[in-house]
Amino acid sequence: MFLTSEACLLETAVSKICNRRYMAGVVATAEACDSNAALLASGDLRVLQPVFQIYGQCRSFSGPVVTLKVFEDNVLVRELLETRGEGKVLVIDGGGSMRCALVGGNLGQLAHNNGWSGIVVNGCIRDVDEINGCGIGVRALGSHPLKSNKKGHGDKHVPVYIAGVYIAGSFIRDGEWLYADSDGILVSKSELSI
């Protein structure tokens, strides 16, 4: 696929914005692990298992966590993404389902427009090309073309268990901090200093 010069300029501008955000407040996950051995040992800093694919323009993102637990139903995903994100990261426990997508291109753009820093989906996304064009960071187990149910079932702001974090001693909770980059994803009980 060839990009027009306008599309290339837009892609470059989005990349610069993501990089500026990265430089301003995102902690490199490898550095965070190296410099926070005591937090790792205590379980106050946890590393998610490397099961997520990288999507979206922002390969690095961080922010306070907002949790959501749903299964093959994305009504509550939309409800949360319609609110002001203010640099937060939506962590969706979709039960690891690989049978439908919980986030698509429209929700990716909505998240970007409303100031969400990123989305982590323990499940699938769709409209990958559209999401890859959004100025947001997204992690998911994979992609699936089928949309989800629309029944509105699920729970907001509840502890969630994804990608082996429970093994490290705790669920992921609202208000914790998530850090994602090309090396992986960390969850911290409090904001890490740079």
Please enumerate, by residue number, every residue annotated as part of a binding site for Mg(2+).
127
Give the total residue count for the chain. Answer: 194
Q: How far apart are CA 58 and CA 118, in angstroms?
A: 8
Secondary element (H or E) of residue 141: strand 137-143
Annotated binding-site members: 104-107, 126-127
Counting DSSP H helices and E strands in the chain, the numbers are 6, 10
Strands 61-69 and 155-156 turn out to be antiparallel
Residues tagged in the binding site annotation for substrate: 104-107, 126
Residue among 153, 171, 151, 137 nearest 67 (CA): 171
